[in-house]
Structure formats: structure tokens, C-alpha cells
């Protein structure tokens, strides 16, 4: 009898608080938008809406406002995902398991967003955390990884989480500006879509108890790069107030108009179309369009190499990237003008330790020190000994020989470069630097602190991301610390809290960086020697 009473009391408590249960129905979670009413669901006390259209767009045309609908729009499922760049490219079995991708349902009219909020009726204006997915500029979606789910972050932080889909690859970046005003910004429609979603947030998020005057944009990898694009976009100023860049600061310059228009010329050639037949691009099947785009990029890349023109990226070839585009994106992201434009935006920026660990892909996870040294010798030449010494000084607790070859030198230099520039702006907003060094034990630990590894910790989605990070209370403890930092930054612009060491703003002089690991610590310019050597090698 005693146990029955206890059970009933617990049941009453959970029902009263609205936790631990799913609520759906015709009159559940109905909210207003400028286009009409939407109906979501309530799970664990969080109101959830998926697939709300924030705009619509015909192929290669600018986004426009969604026509109003009658009645109540059901918003229980994710909206269409932008068509993938290489939909038939297989991932190896381990990677498919590790990332646990959800590729979604593809569709070109993919301008939709998702919302998680603790309330739609309590008149409590909450910080808005606006998530931009990774995948470079050619793939990915708001549902691609299980870690992207916003329920836990919303509940833990008393914040409104928004995530979006937008156009990608050739659909988001083919430059048709010379063919009419409808295509004026087609070279950057992907970024224009994101700005349009932020405008939707300004108009509508108050109906979901979000504060349009406290919006934090955050993204990882390609999403982090898009954060930088928005910070350099004059027309996006005022649509967000804080920014977080996770493994997405790249030092290369944007493409120029002469390059983007040359790519378009080659696409037309591949499809045997004249300038007068440009409208045919709007009806060609996506696969044929995508194939022509790939060939065009390669042709232009080869010509750029012949002419000695630098190719942006990591040495993988010319790809779909944003470009300098009249008044829409008039500046490179690290230019004086762009940095001045966003000088009052507090920035949280960082990377993960290994990003793409070379040893895992080269079959050298368990290589001997001699084998590893031979590999490094091929990359660093006469700087090999100095490089190895610098790595050991920066990471004295590493024990495997392969650790020497797995230090990220793709994303970290760009993050430091951006932090150095921004932190020296006169009277500018603060910069906070992080470094995620926790290593996953999954698959024997071979992938270490892999690209995207911090995401389950940021979103407090440890249980959802077991394939990537395994399980265990230590991972959850770190997730508690890291997600709270992101939450605090969204609330106040300062990511520090009582469960972390004192985390001061970064400056070019002090190099203050917090390490997120089982034991979080503050370090100062920990890898300066490594970065200096890498710069001299190049």
C-alpha cells in the first residue's frame, strides 16, 4: 500500500509539471505566426514545432514571404532537406555508425525552421539560440545529427532554440546575376536564406516567448563559417546580438564575381545551353544540374591553377562558397570593414583538438613512434623535431605516438586568427576562446576528439548521441558544464559559471583558452609554437 501511494504521488507530480509525457492534439501547442497558426506538441514540458516555413523560393530566385494559410498548420515533423550535393556517395560503415546521420526527405523548397521553447504564453521573453547546421556549404540539415535536437538545451537553459534548413550547393550559390534582377543575389542565396530566417525570428519569435532583442547565432563547421558570413553582412546587422563559431573560422578569401560567373558559364556549356536558354536551368533535374556543377567547378579550378590564382579551401579543390556580392556581402570576413561591422557582437569561438585525426584514416592509430615520426617528416621536413617538441609541450598528457600526428591544423589557426583580430578592436565586444579536448572511447578511441565531437555536449544530448560518444556519467558531467556555458553566453554574453575555472576574455596578448575535458582548465597560448612552426612550413 505504501509503495502504491508513493507511485500515485509521483504520477500526480509528473502530470502536474507536464514532464515525462507527450501531449498532442487539436488544441495542444497552438501558436501564431505572421502566415497563420501552427500546432506543435509538448514533450517533457517543452513546446516543439518542426518544419515551419519561414519563406519560399523558386529555383535560383530570392526567398519571398510565405502565403498565409487557413486554419491551423500541423508542425510535428521536420521540413524538407536541401538536396544533397553527392546523394549517392557512400560513407564507410564506421562513419555511418559514428555520426548516425538522418538524411531526411529532400526537397528544393526547403526554407523551414524548428522551434523548442518552454512556453508560448507566460510573457517571459527568453534568449533565442539560432542554430546553423554544418556540412560546409553543400550538404547537411537541421536534423542531420541526433545532437542537433533542441529540447534539452531549451529546457535546461530556459531559452528558445531555433534551427533552420536553407538552400545549399549549386542551388544556393550559382551566380545568375547577369541574367536579370530576379537573380541579383543568386551567388549567395544560401546566406540570404539564413538572413531571411533571422528576419522571420524578429517578426515571430515573440509568439514563442523568445526575445527578438537577444538572439545568439551559433553554428559548427560550415555553420560556423556562415556565422562569420552573417557578421560580415551589413543587412544582417541588428538581427542577432551574440555569435558562437564552432570549428568554422577559415582564413581564405571569398570568391570574386569573375570566378562565380565563370563557373556559371561552364555549367551552361556542360548542359549545352546558351545565354538565352538560362531559364532552362529552372527545370533541369537536380542530378543533371549537380553533375554539371561539379564538372564546371573542376574546369574553373584547373584554369585558376594555370593562372596561379589561390583556390579557397583545404586543398580539396574549388567548391561552392559564398562570394563578394555587391551590397549583400561586400567584404571578406576578416577585412577591417567586416570586423568593424560586428565589433559590438560578443564572440565565443573554438575548435576540437583533433577535428579529422589523420591516423584514423591512414590506418596508423596504433603506429609506432618511428612510423609516426616518418609520417610527420614528410609533412614538416626539417621542422620535424621542433614540431614534435612543440606538440609534446602543448599536450604533455598525450601518450600514444599517433597523438603527435593528430593535432588539428585545419580549423585551429583560423580560430586563433579571428580571435586575435577581433580582440584588438578598440572598445569592441569581448571574445572567449574554448578548446574541446575530450576524446571519445567509441571504436577503441581511434577517432579521439573528432570534428563535431563537442555537439552532444553543447546541446546536452549525451543520450541521443551514444554512437559518437559512448555513455557514462563523466560525459554527462562535462555536458552539464559545456551546455551551461553556451546558455550563459546566450543570456549574458559571458560563458563563465561556478563549475568552471575563472574564464576571462581572450586577447592576443594573454591567449586565454578554456579546455573542455573531464578536468576543465585555463591555459594561455598553449599551442603558439605549433602554430608558428606550421605557418613557417607553409
Active-site residues, by number, are 221, 355, 451
The torsion angles phi and psi of 402, rounded to 5 degrees, stand at -65, -20
3-state SS assignment for residue 16: helix
Q: How far apart are CA 220 and CA 249, in angstroms?
A: 10
Nearest C-alpha neighbor of 46 from the set 23, 15, 64? 23
Q: Helix 189-204 to helix 222-231 angle, to the nearest 10 degrees?
A: 70
CA 240/CA 230 separation, integer angstroms:
9
| Those residues with Cβ within 8 angstroms of residue 253's Cβ, 6 or more apart along the chain or in another chain | 310, 312, 332
Burial pattern 346-383, b for ≥16 Cβ within 10 A else e, equals bbbbbbbbbbebbbbeeebbebeeebbbebbeeebeeb
Length, in residues, of the chain: 538
CB 266 within 8 A of CB 296: yes
Burial class of residue 36 (count of CB atoms within 10 Å of its CB; 0-12, 13-18, 19+): middle
Q: At 522, is the secondary structure helix, strand, or coil?
A: strand
Q: Where are the alpha helices (DSSP H) in 328-472?
A: 336-341, 358-362, 369-380, 384-394, 412-423, 455-458, 466-469
Amino acid at each position: 500500500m505504501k509503495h502504491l501511494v508513493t507511485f500515485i504521488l509521483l504520477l500526480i507530480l509528473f502530470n502536474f509539471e507536464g514532464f515525462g509525457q507527450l501531449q498532442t492534439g487539436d488544441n495542444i501547442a497552438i501558436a501564431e505566426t505572421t502566415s497563420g497558426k501552427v500546432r506543435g506538441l509538448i514533450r517533457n514540458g517543452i513546446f516543439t514545432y518542426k518544419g515551419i516555413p519561414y519563406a519560399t523560393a523558386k529555383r535560383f530566385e530570392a526567398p519571398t514571404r510565405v502565403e498565409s494559410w487557413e486554419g491551423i498548420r500541423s508542425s510535428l515533423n521536420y521540413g524538407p532537406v536541401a538536396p544533397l550535393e553527392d546523394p549517392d556517395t557512400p560513407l564507410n560503415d564506421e562513419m555511418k555508425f559514428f555520426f548516425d546521420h538522418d538524411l531526411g526527405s529532400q526537397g528544393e523548397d526547403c526554407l523551414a525552421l524548428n522551434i523548442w521553447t518552454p512556453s508560448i504564453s507566460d510573457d517571459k521573453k527568453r534568449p533565442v539560440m539560432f542554430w546553423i547546421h554544418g556540412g560546409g556549404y553543400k550538404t547537411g540539415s537541421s536534423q542531420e545529427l541526433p545532437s542537433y535536437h533542441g529540447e534539452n538545451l531549451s529546457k535546461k537553459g530556459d531559452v528558445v532554440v531555433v534551427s533552420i534548413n536553407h538552400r545549399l550547393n549549386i542551388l544556393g550559390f550559382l551566380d545568375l546575376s547577369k541574367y536579370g534582377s530576379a537573380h541579383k543575389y543568386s551567388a549567395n542565396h544560401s546566406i540570404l536564406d539564413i538572413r531571411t530566417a533571422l528576419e522571420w525570428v524578429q517578426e515571430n519569435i515573440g509568439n514563442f516567448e523568445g526575445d527578438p532583442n537577444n538572439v545568439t547565432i551559433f553554428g559548427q563547421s560550415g555553420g560556423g563559417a556562415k556565422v562569420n558570413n552573417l557578421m560580415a553582412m551589413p543587412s544582417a546587422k541588428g538581427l542577432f546580438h551574440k555569435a558562437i563559431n564552432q570549428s568554422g573560422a577559415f582564413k581564405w578569401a571569398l570568391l570574386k564575381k569573375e570566378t562565380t560567373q565563370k563557373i556559371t558559364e561552364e555549367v551552361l556549356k556542360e548542359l549545352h545551353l546558351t545565354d538565352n536558354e538560362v531559364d532552362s536551368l529552372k527545370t533541369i533535374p537536380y542530378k543533371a544540374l549537380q553533375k554539371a556543377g561539379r564538372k564546371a567547378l573542376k574546369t574553373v579550378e584547373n584554369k585558376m591553377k594555370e593562372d596561379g590564382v589561390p583556390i579557397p579551401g583545404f586543398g580539396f579543390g574549388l567548391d561552392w562558397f559564398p562570394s563578394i556580392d555587391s551590397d549583400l556581402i561586400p567584404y571578406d570576413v576578416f577585412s577591417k570593414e567586416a570586423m568593424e561591422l560586428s565589433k559590438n557582437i560578443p564572440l565565443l569561438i573554438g575548435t576540437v583538438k583533433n577535428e579529422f585525426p589523420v591516423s584514423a584514416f591512414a590506418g596508423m592509430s596504433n603506429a609506432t613512434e618511428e612510423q609516426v615520426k616518418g609520417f610527420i617528416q614528410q609533412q614538416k621536413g626539417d621542422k620535424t623535431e621542433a614540431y614534435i617538441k612543440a606538440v609534446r609541450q602543448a599536450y604533455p598528457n598525450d601518450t600514444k605516438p599517433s597523438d603527435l600526428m593528430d593535432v588539428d591544423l585545419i580549423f585551429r589557426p583560423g580560430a586563433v586568427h579571428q580571435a586575435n583580430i577581433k580582440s584588438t578592436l578598440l572598445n569592441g565586444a569581448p571574445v572567449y576562446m574554448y578548446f574541446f579536448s575530450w576524446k571519445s572511447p567509441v571504436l577503441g578511441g581511434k577517432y579521439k576528439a573528432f570534428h563535431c565531437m563537442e555537439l552532444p555536449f553543447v546541446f546536452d544530448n549525451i543520450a541521443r548521441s551514444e554512437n559518437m560518444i559512448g555513455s557514462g556519467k563523466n560525459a554527462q558531467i562535462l555536458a552539464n558544464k559545456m551546455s551551461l556555458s553556451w546558455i550563459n553566453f546566450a543570456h549574458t554574453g559571458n560563458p563563465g559559471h561556478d563549475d568552471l575555472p575563472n574564464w576571462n576574455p581572450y586577447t592576443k596578448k594573454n591567449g586565454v583558452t578554456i579546455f573542455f575535458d573531464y578536468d576543465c582548465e585555463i591555459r594561455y597560448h598553449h599551442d603558439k609554437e605549433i602554430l608558428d612552426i606550421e605557418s613557417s612550413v607553409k
